[in-house]
């Protein structure tokens, strides 16, 4: 007989404690979620955007999802992006995630989710970089990062966990202060030489693995010639590249329907051509060997960011916290539980 589950709250500090130092394990959780998604064992509806007429750069996004298989996680991530927060010295993004019980539908946990969101984004990028570079037979040695915020820091960390080592790391950010702070972070975490570039185009030309982690709302790179050396591109922020660059590249996405919307660069390319023929396949196709990216073309991975990844990682965190006996339950959270009073 079904019963109402206890409701728990898991703080960001607890999430960080569970995930810290376990980047390789997180990448495996994310890979498993991608495989379940590719096998049709997930439900991932469209994301829903709450926008504000008086604050066009800000938004709050709802990502409902369900993951079957050995994960068995269902719920929603609610993530806010307010870029102006950076001017006040606080992070741009904040998030919570709700897990719902399979049997009753009752929510049983609320997790702080900015760390989960950043970790799944970075793990996805690192997984793609590892599999795509292996398929191409080319191991990148010069990393370039455009946009030096929290996501860039997580991506760099997870690339290290995936076994990447670089001879040089290039940086570009519209804020010299942010570039300097990121450079200091790199000094603390290793001794790889760093170079700050005056423009994103300069950085791209000097790199064979490029990470875009910006808040760009529209393309700021337009010339395919900047990519003539055919780098591997982790297009995490989705709107940095012109349709011309996308159409000149070999394109891998996380999910075709999700990625080609909301005026992402691939979506702009679809609007330009009227078709999706420029999309070679998904990361699942790469994982299963269905597609093999070439070494003599620019390869662009554009991940829209699937809610199933958040749910899978959140479920992992919940199980770890529960196993440690560290759940903070809220007694009486569900109060009106008798149908007739």
Residue 297: per-residue pLDDT: 97
Structure tokens at 28: 């495996």
Q: Is the dihedral of CA 260, 77, 240, 31 positive or negative?
A: negative
Q: 330 and 10 in contact (C-beta within 8 Å)? A: no
Residue 338: per-residue pLDDT: 82
Q: How many helices (H) and strands (E) does the chain have?
A: 11, 16
Q: 254 and 130 in contact (C-beta within 8 Å)? A: no
Residue 339: per-residue pLDDT: 80
User: Which backbone phi and psi does 85 adopt, to 5 degrees?
Assistant: -55, -30
**Segments of 82-130 assigned E as strands:** 93-100, 107-112
CATH 3.30.1780.10 fits domain 8-116+307-329: yes
Q: How far apart are CA 315 and CA 109, in angstroms?
A: 10
Residue 14: per-residue pLDDT: 98
Using 70 as the pLDDT threshold, list the residues of the chain that sit under it.
Answer: none
Q: Is the dihedral of CA 121, 126, 127, 131 positive or negative?
A: positive
Residue 248: per-residue pLDDT: 98
| Every domain of the chain and the residues it spans | 8-116+307-329, 136-302
Span 113-169, pLDDT tens digits: 999 999 999 999 999 999 999 999 989 999 999 999 999 999 999 999 999 999 999
Residue 86: per-residue pLDDT: 86
CA 210 to chain centre: 15
Sequence-separated (6 or more) residues with CB below 8 Å from residue 300: 233, 235, 241, 245, 246, 249, 250, 251, 252
Nearest residue to 216 via CA among 198, 192, 193, 242: 242
CATH number among 3.40.50.720, 3.20.20.70, 2.40.50.200, 3.30.10.20, domain 136-302? 3.40.50.720
Q: How far apart are CA 99 and CA 103, in angstroms?
A: 12
């Amino acid at each position: 007989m079904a019963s109402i589950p206890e409701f728990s709250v898991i703080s960001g500090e607890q999430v960080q404690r569970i995930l810290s130092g376990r980047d390789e394990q997180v990448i495996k959780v994310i890979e498993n979620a991608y495989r379940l998604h590719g096998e049709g064992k997930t439900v991932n509806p469209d994301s829903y955007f709450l926008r504000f007429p008086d604050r066009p750069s800000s938004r709050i996004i709802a990502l409902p999802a369900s993951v079957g298989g050995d994960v068995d996680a269902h719920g929603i991530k609610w993530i806010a992006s307010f870029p102006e927060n950076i001017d006040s010295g606080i992070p741009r993004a904040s998030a919570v995630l709700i897990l719902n019980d399979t049997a009753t539908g009752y929510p049983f946990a609320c997790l702080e989710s900015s760390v989960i969101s950043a970790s799944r984004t970075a793990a996805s990028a690192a997984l793609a970089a590892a599999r795509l570079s292996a398929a191409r037979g080319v191991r990148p040695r010069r990393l370039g990062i455009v946009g030096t915020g929290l996501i860039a820091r997580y991506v760099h960390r997870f690339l290290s966990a995936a076994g990447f080592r670089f001879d040089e790391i290039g940086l570009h950010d519209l804020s010299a202060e942010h570039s300097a702070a990121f450079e200091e972070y790199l000094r603390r975490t290793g001794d790889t030489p760093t170079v700050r570039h005056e423009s994103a185009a300069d950085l791209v030309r000097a790199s064979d693995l490029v990470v875009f982690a910006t808040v760009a709302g529209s393309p700021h790179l337009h010339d395919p010639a900047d990519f003539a050396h055919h780098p591997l591109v982790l297009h995490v922020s989705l709107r940095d590249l012109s349709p011309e660059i996308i159409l000149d590249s070999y394109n891998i996405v996380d999910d075709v329907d999700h990625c080609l919307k909301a005026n992402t660069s691939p979506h702009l390319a679809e609007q330009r051509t009227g078709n999706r023929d420029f999309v070679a396949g998904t990361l699942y196709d790469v994982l299963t060997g269905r597609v093999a990216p070439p070494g003599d073309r620019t390869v662009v991975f554009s991940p829209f960011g699937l809610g199933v990844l958040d749910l899978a990682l959140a479920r992992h965190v919940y199980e770890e916290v529960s196993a440690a006996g560290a759940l903070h339950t809220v007694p009486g959270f569900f109060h009106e539980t008798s149908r007739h009073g």
